[in-house]
Chain A
Amino acid sequence: MKNQYQISTEDLNLISRVITGEADSGETELFEKRMNTESGFPSKVEEVRLLITGVREVNLAASLKEWHEKMNTSNVPDQSKGKIRSLKYIIPAAVAALIIIVTGIWFMINPGPQENIYSQYYKPDPGLPTVMSANSDYAFKQGMVYYKSEQYSQAIEQWSPLLETEPENDTLLYYMAQAYLALGLIDDARKPLEKILTLSESEYLGKAAWYLGLIYLKENNKEEGKALILQSDHQQKEKILSEMK
C-alpha cells in the first residue's frame, strides 16, 4: 500500500462512518458517488478499511486469548446437543399432542428465567394482507385467512400440501412455523424455522432467527438462544440481550 496521498479529516470521517455502518443515507449516497467518479477515492477507502481492520485484528487476537482462558474446555457445550442446524428432525407430528401436554405441565410447574423471557417476548406474527384472487396463490392466501382469524390448525392443514411441493418456500415455512407456535407446538415450529436459516437469501432469516432463538430460550438453552437472537433483526433484540445478562 502506497499512501503518499493525504486523507483529509472530512474524508477519513466519511470513510470511517461508512465502514462502521454509522453513515446516514446522505453520506452513503455521497460515498457511493465518489467511489464511482473520483479516481483516487477507492484507494483511500481501501486503506482506511485496512487500518480499521488491523486495529480490530490486533484487539481480536488479544480477545481470543482471554476467551480461551475463560472457556473451560470441559464445560464447552455438548455439540451433539448444541448444533443448531445439525439437529435431526426426529420428532414425528404424531406425538405433537403429547408434547403440548408435557410442555404445558412443565410450563406451569417450572417456568425458569428463560421461559419468562419467552413469554414476555413471544408475539405471533400478524400475518400477510390477503387479497384473494383466483391464481396459484389462492391456496396460500386461503391459509392466511385462516391464520389471521386464529384458526391455526386449519391454516396448517391448508398449507401442508403446498409445503410438500415447495419445501423451500420461505414465506410458507415461516407462516407454518408461526401457526405451530401460536398453537404451542414448539417442536413442529422448530423444523421450518431451521429450514429458513439454511436459505441464505431469504428475507425471513432475521425473523426466523428471532423465533428460533426464543424457542431455545424457552428450553433454557441460553447459549443457542443468544446466538440466534444476535442474528435476528428484531426491534427488541438489544432489550432481550440486556435482560439475559
Chain B
Amino acid sequence: MDLTKVQQHSGTPFYKAIKDHSPEFLELMYTRNYPNLEVYIIQNSGNAEDARDIYQEGFIAVWRNIQLGKFHPSTEKEFSAYLFRVCKNKWIDQLRKNKTRPVEAVGNADKLEARHIETEEDEKYKYLIQVRENFLQLGDKCREILSMFYYRKKNLKEIADQYGMTEASAKNSKYRCLQKLRELVFNNSQEK
C-alpha cells in the first residue's frame, strides 16, 4: 500500500467519504452510476440482469481497490469513469467467453487498467476471499457484532445496548470475534 499516495488524497472529501465507508454514500454512488452501465450492456447484447450482475461485481472490485489503496479517486467523476471502465471490461470478457458477437473494443489503456485492478492472483485478494467465506462460518452473534461495528458503523455503546452487555464486554466480544475469524481463515487455508 502506497501510504504516501493515500495521505496525499486523504484530504479529498470524495475519497474520504468512499474510503471511510459510509453505507449511505456508497448506496448513492451505486444508484447514480448504474443507469449508464445498464444502457451500455443492453446496447451490447445483454439484458438488465446481466447489467445488474456485472455492475455488482464491478462495484465491489472498485470498492475493494479503494480499500486496498490501489485506486484513489479524488472526485466522483474519476470514480464513475473508473467504475464504468471496469464493468465494461468485465462485460467484454464475459461476451468473449460466451462467444457472442463482438462489441466495441476498449483501448489498450483500459485493458491495462482492467488487469491492474483484477489482481485475482494477488495474495491479498485471496485472503479477502477467504475472509468472506469464513465470515459466513462465524456464529450469528459474531457476524452481527462485526457487521454492526465495521460495516454499519455502530459504536460500542449501541452494540452493548442491543445485546444487553456493558461497553467493555462489547469491545471484548468484538475482539474475540475478529480473532475467531482470523483463526478460521488460517485453519481453513491450511486444510486446502
Name the distance in Å between A42's Cβ and chain B's nearest Cβ: 9
* Residue A47 lies at the interface, judged by CB distance under 8 Å to chain B: yes
* Residue B27 lies at the interface, judged by CB distance under 8 Å to chain A: yes
* Residue A130 lies at the interface, judged by CB distance under 8 Å to chain B: no
Write the residues of chain B forming the contact surface with A, with a CB cutoff of 8 angstroms.
1, 8-9, 11-14, 17, 20-32, 34-36, 38, 48, 52, 56, 59-60, 63-64, 67-68, 74-78, 123-124, 127-128, 130-132, 135-136, 146-147, 150-152, 171-172, 174-175, 178-179, 181-182, 185-186, 189
Question: Nearest chain-A residue to B73 (Cβ)?
Answer: A200
- Tell whether, in the assembled complex, residue B131 and residue A50 are in contact, meaning their CB atoms are under 8 Å apart: yes
In the bound assembly, the distance between CA atoms of A80 and B11 in angstroms comes to 29
Q: Which 10 A-B pairs have the closest CB atoms?
A: A54-B131, A200-B74, A59-B151, A231-B13, A1-B127, A76-B35, A85-B77, A58-B132, A53-B67, A64-B56
Among A20, A59, A226, point to the contact of B28 (Cβ < 8 A).
A226
In the bound assembly, the distance between CA atoms of A203 and B11 in angstroms comes to 8
- Tell whether, in the assembled complex, residue A227 and residue B32 are in contact, meaning their CB atoms are under 8 Å apart: yes
Q: Which residues of chain A are near B25, meaning CB under 8 Å? A: 227, 230-231
Q: A13-B171, A60-B60, A230-B24 are known contacts. Are A52 and B150 too (CB-CB below 8 A)?
A: yes
Question: Nearest chain-A residue to B19 (Cβ)?
Answer: A21
- Tell whether, in the assembled complex, residue A85 and residue B147 are in contact, meaning their CB atoms are under 8 Å apart: no
The 19 sampled A-B contact pairs (Cβ below 8 Å) are A50-B128, A51-B178, A52-B178, A53-B128, A54-B135, A55-B131, A55-B135, A63-B27, A68-B52, A68-B56, A79-B35, A84-B76, A209-B13, A223-B28, A223-B32, A226-B28, A230-B28, A231-B13, A231-B76
Number of residues in A with C-beta < 8 Å to the partner?
55
In the complex, besides A9-B175, A206-B13, 15 extra interface pairs with C-beta distance below 8 angstroms are A3-B185, A54-B127, A54-B132, A54-B135, A56-B151, A57-B60, A57-B128, A60-B60, A61-B56, A77-B35, A86-B77, A200-B75, A227-B32, A230-B25, A231-B14
Name the distance in Å between B141's Cβ and chain A's nearest Cβ: 14
In the bound assembly, the distance between CA atoms of A200 and B11 in angstroms comes to 9
- Tell whether, in the assembled complex, residue B30 and residue A3 are in contact, meaning their CB atoms are under 8 Å apart: no
Question: Nearest chain-B residue to A65 (Cβ)?
Answer: B56
Question: Nearest chain-A residue to B9 (Cβ)?
Answer: A200
- Tell whether, in the assembled complex, residue B151 and residue A76 are in contact, meaning their CB atoms are under 8 Å apart: no
Give residues of chain A (190-245) contacting chain B, Cβ–Cβ below 8 Å. 197-198, 200-201, 203, 205-206, 209, 223, 226-227, 230-233
Q: Which residues of chain A are near B21, meaning CB under 8 Å? A: 56
Q: Which residues of chain A are near B178, meaning CB under 8 Å? A: 12, 16, 48, 51-52
In the bound assembly, the distance between CA atoms of A206 and B16 in angstroms comes to 10
In the bound assembly, the distance between CA atoms of A79 and B38 in angstroms comes to 12
* Residue A82 lies at the interface, judged by CB distance under 8 Å to chain B: yes
- Tell whether, in the assembled complex, residue B28 and residue A51 are in contact, meaning their CB atoms are under 8 Å apart: no
Q: Which residues of chain A are near B31, meaning CB under 8 Å? A: 67, 71, 76
* Residue A183 lies at the interface, judged by CB distance under 8 Å to chain B: no
- Tell whether, in the assembled complex, residue B181 and residue A55 are in contact, meaning their CB atoms are under 8 Å apart: yes
In the bound assembly, the distance between CA atoms of A136 and B190 in angstroms comes to 67
In the bound assembly, the distance between CA atoms of A84 and B76 in angstroms comes to 9
- Tell whether, in the assembled complex, residue B36 and residue A79 are in contact, meaning their CB atoms are under 8 Å apart: yes
* Residue A7 lies at the interface, judged by CB distance under 8 Å to chain B: yes
- Tell whether, in the assembled complex, residue A85 and residue B17 are in contact, meaning their CB atoms are under 8 Å apart: no
Name the distance in Å between B135's Cβ and chain A's nearest Cβ: 5
Q: Which residues of chain A are near B78, meaning CB under 8 Å? A: 200
Name the distance in Å between A13's Cβ and chain B's nearest Cβ: 7
- Tell whether, in the assembled complex, residue B26 and residue A63 are in contact, meaning their CB atoms are under 8 Å apart: yes
Q: Which residues of chain B are near A59, meaning CB under 8 Å? A: 147, 150-152
Name the distance in Å between B165's Cβ and chain A's nearest Cβ: 17
Q: Which residues of chain A are near B29, meaning CB under 8 Å? A: 227
- Tell whether, in the assembled complex, residue A64 and residue B75 are in contact, meaning their CB atoms are under 8 Å apart: no
In the bound assembly, the distance between CA atoms of A79 and B32 in angstroms comes to 8
- Tell whether, in the assembled complex, residue A205 and residue B150 are in contact, meaning their CB atoms are under 8 Å apart: no
Q: A53-B64, A55-B150, A231-B14 are known contacts. Are A77 and B30 too (CB-CB below 8 A)?
A: no
In the bound assembly, the distance between CA atoms of A61 and B53 in angstroms comes to 11
Name the distance in Å between A35's Cβ and chain B's nearest Cβ: 8
